[in-house]
Amino acid sequence: MKASVTEEGNRLILGGVVTADNALALRQQGERWLSSRTRGDRLSVDLSAVESASSVLLSLLLCWLREARRMNLTLAVKGASGQLLELSRLNGVSHWLTGPA
């Protein structure tokens, strides 16, 4: 399934399969959404419709999380699969997806 990003207020819904071919466009769409938010907003990215975990998906999420932090926004990741959480743990970045332990 093709990857998609849907904006619903303070929630960004990511769906489909994130690949190297579509990651840049998804990143840019997410960053435009972040830039339209107000400093201090509490936002979330919903991953429940994402079909597979990969290092490309993890990289995309980290880009969004860093950009949100730079803009003084709070961005929480919701609906991450066990596979994505394990991948983030193996890469030493699980705290970015789950918050402090």
- Please tell me whether residue 15 adopts helix, strand or coil conformation: strand
Confidence (pLDDT) at 101: 43
Per-residue pLDDT reduced to its tens digit, 39-70: 999 999 999 999 999 999 999 999 999 999 99
Phi then psi for residue 71, to 5 deg, are: -90, 5
**Where are the chain's structural domains?**
4-92
Q: Are 16 and 51 in contact, with CB atoms under 8 Å apart?
A: yes
DSSP 39: T
Task: Tally Cβ neighbours within 10 Å of residue 34.
Answer: 19
Look over the chain and give the mean of its residue pLDDT values, rounded to a whole number: 93
pTM here is 0.92
C-alpha to C-alpha distance for 34 and 64, rounded to whole angstroms: 8
Task: Tally Cβ neighbours within 10 Å of residue 63.
Answer: 17
Q: At residue 100, does pLDDT exceed 60?
A: no
C-alpha to C-alpha distance for 27 and 101, rounded to whole angstroms: 27
Confidence (pLDDT) at 99: 66
Q: In CATH, what number does 4-92 get?
A: 3.30.750.24
pLDDT band per the 50, 70, 90 thresholds, residue 96:
confident
